[in-house]
């Protein structure tokens, strides 16, 4: 099964990232089969790459038309994402929660089988 089939909204613009003791970052949020990526798309290149396996829990909150997702990570980080639009917020939250736990290396790591095919005896 490809995890990309579970993604309802793969990209959202205008997302604001809040982290403790760090400046806020506004950028584009992309949801892939293995990562949640936020990029400011500026020269300073502020980015967040969060592996789905590192997500412990997700909370959804709504303030008017703004959706807020609070991500609690397994490494004890707390990340808050302000997403414009309730539908996009619900889709991102449900897609992030919908990824199953990885018990096999070829499902957890993207391109994990590429190196093995190079060294295999075919």
CATH number, position 114:
2.30.29.30
pLDDT one-digit tens code per residue, 19-36? 999 999 999 999 988 889
Q: Which residues of the chain have pLDDT under 50?
A: none
Q: In the chain, how many domains are there?
A: 1
Domain around 101: 3-119
pLDDT, position 64: 86
Residue 121 C-beta-side C-alpha neighbours within 13 Å? 0
Helix, strand, coil percentages for the chain (3-state, nearest 5): 25, 40, 35
pLDDT one-digit tens code per residue, 34-49? 889 999 877 777 889 9
* Nearest-angstrom CA–CA distance, 26 and 15: 6
């Amino acid at each position: 099964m490809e995890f990309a089939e579970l993604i309802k909204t793969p990209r959202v613009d205008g997302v604001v990232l809040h982290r403790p003791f760090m400046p806020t970052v506004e950028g584009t949020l992309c949801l892939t089969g293995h990562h949640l990526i936020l990029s400011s798309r500026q020269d300073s290149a502020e980015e967040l790459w969060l592996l789905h396996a590192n997500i412990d829990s997700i909370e959804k909150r709504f303030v008017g038309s703004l959706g807020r997702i609070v991500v609690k990570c397994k490494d004890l980080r707390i990340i808050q994402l302000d997403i414009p639009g309730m539908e996009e917020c619900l889709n991102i939250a449900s897609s992030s929660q919908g990824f199953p736990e990885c018990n096999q290396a070829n499902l957890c790591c993207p391109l994990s089988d590429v190196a093995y095919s190079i060294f295999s005896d075919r």
